[in-house]
Amino acid sequence: MKTVEVIGHGSLPFITSVTSGYAASMGIDIPLRVVASYTDKPGDVEFIIKGEWDRDTKLINQVRKGFIHRYLSKSKDRGIRIEIESRIPPGIGLKSGAAVSVYSVLAAAQLLELTFSENDIIHHALNISKAVGGLYSASLDGIYASLKGGVVYTDNMGGRVISWYTGVPEHSIIIGYRRVEGSNLLSRIREIRRYGELFKKIFDVGQKGGHLKAATLNGILFSILGNLDYETLVETLTEGAVAACVAGTGPSICIFVKEDDLDRFRALLEDRGYKTLVTRPTSKGYTYRVVEE
């Protein structure tokens, strides 16, 4: 039977749309693999989850009901199996759900031989985001950066891509994450949005090419207003990090460092109670292959 394998990656949202409606993300080299294949169970859609991403059943159900079942008649009385293997840790601000949704849609569309453009794939992934409780365009930057790589700047409320850079910073990224109990960030969103014009100016710095400067400015301002770990973020800069930001609305701190400084900055973050992972920006998009057995 026919099998489609899609290999992709995650994204780092370094400007979040909750501040001004504008957002920015860059592709990061944390792998995601989705395999779509036929089964001999007519009408059945089975998901097999492996790796880090293993808990968002609401999103999986929406991929199943909101997308695959709409086109399942094209499977010629067969069922479909979707295997997802993700190394993107969930719940730490890296939009793992956005990556899973767009690559699941892409793999299923290739298996069913649907004549979809990349914009169609993005549109369907955004519909899934909306159906599971997000704004229709809330994940546009993350979906686009996961699918295409590079650095993307979006007007999320307007649903449009403003600029896309295929070049990415040539630095390693250390992502420090930890579970924060009792966060009051959501209660502070309205206050943060009062500074929307300032965040928009930071966004403008980035979309003119100042990616790391915008990431750092956004990270400092957002962590202060959101009552996040401002002290550690600033400490990494004082100690010589190239740039430092938060991932989306947190809780992760993400720092850009030179290769020789990896061990030193990992130790700094771990001493402050963070778990760490190391990745790099990527300008690559996805790859896929079709196997006919």
CA dist., res. 213 & res. 244, Å (int):
9
pLDDT of residue 241: 98
Write the CB contacts of 178 (distance below 8 Å, at least 6 apart in sequence).
Answer: 251, 273, 274, 275
CA dist., res. 176 & res. 219, Å (int):
14
The mean pLDDT value for 189-195 works out to 86
Residues 60-119: tens digit of each pLDDT: 899 998 899 888 887 778 899 999 999 988 888 898 889 999 999 999 999 999 999 999
pLDDT of residue 244: 97
Write the CB contacts of 212 (distance below 8 Å, at least 6 apart in sequence).
Answer: 169, 171, 242, 243, 256
Q: Is the pLDDT of residue 56 over 70?
A: no
- Domains of the chain as residue ranges with CATH: 3-168+282-291 (3.30.230.10), 172-279 (3.30.70.890)
CA dist., res. 115 & res. 212, Å (int):
37
* Contact status, residue 244 vs residue 237, Cβ threshold 8 Å: yes
Q: What's the pLDDT band for 27 if we cut at 50, 70, 90? A: very high
Q: Is the pLDDT of residue 217 over 90?
A: yes
CA dist., res. 56 & res. 12, Å (int):
19
Residues 136-169: tens digit of each pLDDT: 456 899 999 999 999 999 999 888 999 999 999 9
State the alpha helices, DSSP H only, in the chain: 57-63, 69-71, 96-111, 118-131, 140-148, 185-193, 196-207, 211-225, 230-238, 262-271
CA dist., res. 88 & res. 286, Å (int):
15
The mean pLDDT value for 3-10 works out to 96
Look over the chain and give the mean of its residue pLDDT values, rounded to a whole number: 90
CA dist., res. 78 & res. 67, Å (int):
16
**Dihedral pair phi/psi, residue 114, rounded to 5°:** -80, 140
Residues 257-267: tens digit of each pLDDT: 999 999 999 99
Q: Give burial (CB, 10 Å; 0-12/13-18/19+) of 85.
A: middle
Q: Which residues pair with 244 in a beta bridge?
A: 255
The mean pLDDT value for 231-256 works out to 94
* Contact status, residue 143 vs residue 122, Cβ threshold 8 Å: yes
The mean pLDDT value for 206-219 works out to 96
Q: What's the pLDDT band for 182 if we cut at 50, 70, 90? A: very low
CA distances in angstroms from 236 to 35, 92, 216, 262, listed in the order given: 39, 19, 11, 12
Write the CB contacts of 53 (distance below 8 Å, at least 6 apart in sequence).
Answer: 32, 84, 86, 88, 90, 96, 100
Query: Given phi > 0 = left and psi -120 to 50 = alpha, else beta, which region is 227?
Result: left
pTM beyond cutoff 0.85: yes
pLDDT of residue 137: 53
